[in-house]
Amino acid sequence: MVHALRLYDTLSGEVRPFVPRVSPRVGLFVCGLTPYADAHIGHGRTAVIFDVVARALRRWGYHVFYVQNVTNVDDRLIARGQAEQRDPMELAEFHFQGWLRSMDQLDARAVNLYPFATDYIPEIIDQISALLRREFAYAVDGDVYYAVSKFPDYGRLSGQRVEALRPGAHVEVDPKKRAPEDFALWKSTKPGEPAWPSPWGPGRPGWHIEDTAITGRLLGDQYDIHGGGTDLKFPHHEAEIAQAEGASGKSPLVNYWMHAGMLTLRGEKMSKSLGNVVGLDATIRKYGPEVLRFFYLNAHYRSPLNFEEGKSLEEARESYATFSQPYRRLRDELLRGGLTRPGRELPPEVAKTATEMPVRLDEILSEDFQTREAIAAIFGWGRMIQEWSSKLTGLSGTALVTLGTPYRWAAEVLGLFPERGGGKAPTEFSSLVQIAIQARGRARARGDFAEGDRIRQALLEAGIVLEDQGSDTRWQWKREGGG
DSSP string, 376-440: HHHHHHHHHHHHTGGGGGGB-HHHHHHHTHHHHHIIIII--S---GGGPPPHHHHHHHHHHHHHH
Nearer to RNA, 63 or 442 (CB): 442
Note whether 27 and 225 are within 8 A (CB).
Answer: yes
Nearer to RNA, 141 or 467 (CB): 467
Note whether 59 and 416 are within 8 A (CB).
Answer: no
Q: Is 446 in the site for RNA (CB under 7 A)?
A: no
Piece of 135-143, 246-254, 349-357, 381-389 that binds RNA (CB under 7 A):
381-389
Piece of 161-169, 214-222, 348-356, 395-403 that binds RNA (CB under 7 A):
161-169
In 3D, which of 298, 304, 300 has the Cα closest to residue 316? Answer: 298
* Sites for RNA among residues 179-198 (CB under 7 A): 181, 183
Q: Is 58 in the site for RNA (CB under 7 A)?
A: no
Nearer to RNA, 61 or 379 (CB): 379
Binding mask 225-254 for RNA (x = CB under 7 A): ---xxxxxxxxx--x---------------
Q: Is 383 in the site for RNA (CB under 7 A)?
A: yes
Nearer to RNA, 1 or 435 (CB): 435
Nearer to RNA, 428 or 461 (CB): 461
* Sites for RNA among residues 251-310 (CB under 7 A): 260-264, 267-273, 298-300, 302-306
Piece of 96-104, 106-114, 314-322, 403-411 that binds RNA (CB under 7 A):
314-322
* Sites for RNA among residues 334-373 (CB under 7 A): 367-368, 370, 372-373
Calpha distance 49→375 (Å, rounded): 14
Calpha distance 99→281 (Å, rounded): 8
Q: What angle do CA 370, 326, 317 make, to 5 degrees?
A: 65
**464: three-class secondary structure by DSSP:** strand
| CA contacts within 13 A on the Cβ side of 124 | 25
* Sites for RNA among residues 31-50 (CB under 7 A): 31-34, 40, 42-43, 45-46
**11: three-class secondary structure by DSSP:** coil
* Sites for RNA among residues 66-95 (CB under 7 A): 71, 74-76
Min CB(209)–RNA separation in Å: 11
What is the rounded (10 degree) CA torsion for 250, 252, 254, 258?
Answer: 160
Min CB(449)–RNA separation in Å: 3
DSSP string, 433-452: HHHHHHHHHHHHHTT-HHHH
